[in-house]
Amino acid sequence: MTVTTDGIATKTLKNYVNGSWAEASGAELHPVLNPATGETIAQVPFSTAAHLDEAVEAARAALPAWRGVSTIARARKLFELREKLEARKDEIARTVVLEMGKTLPDATAEVGRMIEMVEAATAIPTTMQGRILEDVARGVDAETIRQPVGVCAAIAPFNFPAMVPFWFLPFAIACGNTFVLKPSEQVPMTQALVFESIDSLDLPDGVVSLVNGGREIVEGILEHPGIDAISFVGSAPVAQIVYEGAAKTGKRVQALGGAKNHMVICPDAVVDPTVKGLIGSGFGAAGQRCMAGSVIVTVGEGHDRVIPTLIEETKKLNVGNGLDEETDVGPVISCEARDRIGGWVQKAVDDGADLVVDGRDPGGDPEGAFIGPTILDNVKRDDPIIGEEVFGPVIAVVNVDTLEEAIEVVNASKFGNGVSIFTESASAVRKFRHDVEVGMVGVNIGVAAPVAFFPFSGWKASFLGDLHAHGPDAVEFFTRKKTITSRYFSGGATSGSYFVEH
Ligand code: NAD
């Protein structure tokens, strides 16, 4: 069944500021395109510094009262949000497909992960607890408590319109912070829908705001004196800009950048599930995941056991509109992205790689941004396509003789987001997980993206900062510690220096 976008009205999106929907008056409007058809599905305002100011002002004003709301009451708002999002799960997933292009099952899984973030944040009455030690000196106790950081802002990329903003939003507000979100200007509709659910929660005005826009809002966030912490997810060069900009103005920052993820195939890999894992990882979301397996490193006979089946199965994949049930691989985000990805493929071929599956002419709507699954075999270890992020449905295969060499290929990358090994050998896994310089490791798992209760822990150029997204790191990031040392003379404590009276 082919589902069309008929009936979706083209509308101008609004910001959500101080508890109300607000037109970004005077802002330039930019079209939001459906990447499968090229049609305009909404207009997004590129808000200005003045619009950001309004949101930050409201967030600052809301802070004292919100941090005073009990942790259990804040958690209950998240339980409520969970139910509201669950009720609109299908609608949110469809919107993800319309503006981002991934297939409906993939988008539905993304929305599931978004809701999981809310669930993890409901544990805040436990996870936000501090620690106490009695008798650090005679009659003296010490305790560390966690308090909110203040006004927190998040800047999101295009590839997970639902989930990525929720790596931050539920944890930030659960900890008693107030929060300003800038979604990607390429996919602003999903959060517009999600914020309808947030609006219906009756949170105090200003606790959560949404400001649409592009680079100007990011620069405004970096410089704004009213913002205390910034969470960024996007490409490596912009992560660097955000990290440096936040450091300059003394803000807490976590900046998640680009990636290049390796899939290491050992000679004993179990062929069919391995191929399934490689296809899901390399071509799911048309290769536009920061955990996409875009380099396969085959060890010895791993190549001839796995690659022929991979080629055969890849050729069976259907490219098309993500709303079509037969589609395995949707469009990439834009025609510019499609042409850039095609350029990478041609360059690798010119450098001597074997183009064993060529997806450059997959058919489909000529206005759509389609490029099909592509496999390049026998790629040189130092070819630029091995080192740089392509962010499309392109897998490059490198062949090596030993696991040690495979680990060398992995560790030569400037990125360190995700990596997977396919083998049944525990000793190979032990060596691999010990030696790889990558923050998220999969064993016989194609996309080893951690669940909400664990940190999303990329390394090297894939992450700038100290505290990662979600899991226990989220509570660390969204709170600051205060340590209190106390004694009471009426309770018998001595009045001497507590430094010496141990
Ligand atoms: P992007 O860097 O182009 O944009 C991300 C955000 O930064 C957007 O909100 C955009 O408005 C803003 N921005 C863009 N250019 C800017 C500039 N020059 N100055 C200031 N702000 C700017 O990224 P994208 O194309 O939207 O997303 C894809 C990238 O995100 C890929 O590199 C992917 O690997 C990465 N990503 C990383 C993770 C991770 O966890 N490490 C997760 C998802 C996506």
SS3 assignment for 384-433: HHHHCCCCCCEEEEEEECCHHHHHHHHHCCCEECEEEEECCCHHHHHHHH
Residue nearest to ligand 1 atom 24, measured at CA: 157
256: Cβ below 6 Å to ligand 1?
A: yes
Tell me if 159 CB under 6 Å of ligand 1: yes
Question: How many other CB atoms are found less than 10 A from the CB of residue 492?
Answer: 9
**pLDDT range class, residue 463, cuts 50, 70, 90:** very high
Q: Tens of pLDDT along 278-314?
A: 999 999 999 999 999 999 999 999 999 999 999 999 9
Question: Quick check: CB of 226 below 6 Å from ligand 1?
Answer: no
**Separation between Cα atoms, residue 16 and residue 206, nearest integer Å:** 9
Confidence of residue 364 (pLDDT cuts 50, 70, 90): confident
DSSP summary character for residue 436: -
Cβ 173 under 6 angstroms from ligand 1: no
- Helix, strand, coil shares of the chain, percent, nearest 5, are 40, 25, 40
| The listed CATH number (1.10.20.140, 3.40.309.10, 3.30.70.100, 3.40.50.720) that belongs to domain 261-443 | 3.40.309.10
Question: What's residue 501's pLDDT?
Answer: 64
Q: For residue 491, what pLDDT is reported?
A: 77
Give the pLDDT of residue 10: 66
Nearest alpha carbon, ligand 1 atom 13: 215
| Separation between Cα atoms, residue 424 and residue 422, nearest integer Å | 7
Q: Are 429 and 441 in contact (CB under 8 A)?
A: no
- Name the CATH topology of 49-257+462-483: Aldehyde Dehydrogenase; Chain A, domain 1 (3.40.605)
Ligand 1 lined by 290 (C-beta under 6 Å): yes
What is the gyration radius of the CA atoms in the chain, in angstroms?
Answer: 24
Question: Ligand 1: which of 102, 159, 224, 473 to mutate, most ligand atoms within 8 Å of CB?
Answer: 159
d(CA 274, CA 343): 29
Q: pLDDT higher for 1 or 115?
A: 115
pLDDT at 6: 44
Q: Which two tokens stand for residue 389?
A: 């992020």
Q: How close is the Cα of 361 to the center of ligand 1, in Å?
A: 27
Give the whole-angstrom CA distance, residue 255 versus residue 262: 22
**Looking at ligand 1, which residue's alpha carbon is closest to its atom 22?**
215
Q: How far is CA 472 from CA 34, 117, 205, 331, in A?
A: 36, 12, 28, 35
Is 391 near ligand 1, meaning CB less than 6 Å away?
yes
pLDDT at 9: 47
Q: Which of 222, 235, 391, 415 to mutate to test the pocket of ligand 1 (most atoms within 8 A of CB)?
A: 235
Q: pLDDT tens, 181-223?
A: 999 999 999 999 999 999 999 999 999 999 999 999 999 999 9
Q: What whole-number distance in Å separates Cα of residue 145 and Cα of residue 475?
A: 12
Lowest mean pLDDT among 2-16, 206-220, 315-329: 2-16
Could you tell me the pTM of the whole model? 0.97
- Mutating to test ligand 1, I would choose from 238, 289, 333 the residue with most ligand atoms within 8 A of its C-beta, which is 238
Write the CB contacts of 502 (distance below 8 Å, at least 6 apart in sequence).
Answer: 137, 138
Structure tokens given for 108 = 């539905």
> CA dihedral defined by 415, 383, 303, 413, rounded to 10 degrees?
-20
Ligand 1 touching residue 185 (CB < 6 A):
yes
Please give the Cα distance from 162 to 175 (Å, whole number): 21
For residue 43, what is the enclosing H or E element?
A: strand 40-46
Tell whether ligand 1 has an atom less than 6 A from the beta carbon of residue 240: no
298 DSSP assignment: E
Q: How confident is the model at residue 502 (pLDDT cuts 50, 70, 90)?
A: low
Residue of minimum CA distance from atom 43 in ligand 1:
290
- The confidence score (pLDDT) of residue 261 equals 98
Q: Which residue's CA is the nearest one to ligand 1's atom 36?
A: 234
Identified catalytic residue from 152, 175, 266, 290: 290
Query: Looking at ligand 1, which residue's alpha carbon is closest to its atom 9?
Result: 184
Report the relative pairing of strands 229-233 and 208-210 from DSSP bridges.
Answer: unpaired
**pLDDT of 2 higher than 60:** no
Examine the pLDDT at 449 and tell me if it is beyond 80: yes
Atom of ligand 1 nearest to the CA of 184: 9
Instruction: Give me the percent of the chain exceeding a pLDDT of 70.
Output: 97
pLDDT of 433 > 90? The answer is: yes
| Size of the chain, expressed as the number of residues it contains | 502
The pLDDT assigned to 492 comes to 79
Q: Which spans in 133-287 are helix H?
A: 169-174, 189-199, 215-223, 236-248, 271-283
290 part of the active site: yes
**Cα(185) to centroid of ligand 1, in Å?**
11
Backbone angles phi, psi at 354, to 5 degrees: -90, 120
Q: What is the DSSP letter of 55?
A: H
Q: Confirm or reject: Cβ of 218 under 6 Å from ligand 1.
A: yes
Which tens digit of pLDDT belongs to each residue from 384-418?
999 999 999 999 999 999 999 999 999 999 999 99
Stretch 248-254: mean pLDDT: 97
The closest residue, in CA terms, to atom 20 on ligand 1 is 215
Contact 370/319 with Cβ under 8 angstroms?
yes
Percent of the chain with pLDDT over 90: 95
Q: Return the residue matching tokens 């101008």.
A: 12
Of 391, 462, 449, 465, which is closest to residue 236 (Cα–Cα)? Answer: 462
- The pLDDT tens digits for 45-70 are 999 999 999 999 999 999 999 999 99
Do the two domains 49-257+462-483 and 261-443 of this chain adopt the same fold? no
| CA-wise closest residue to 202 among 298, 84, 118 | 84
The full set of domain ranges for the chain reads: 49-257+462-483, 261-443
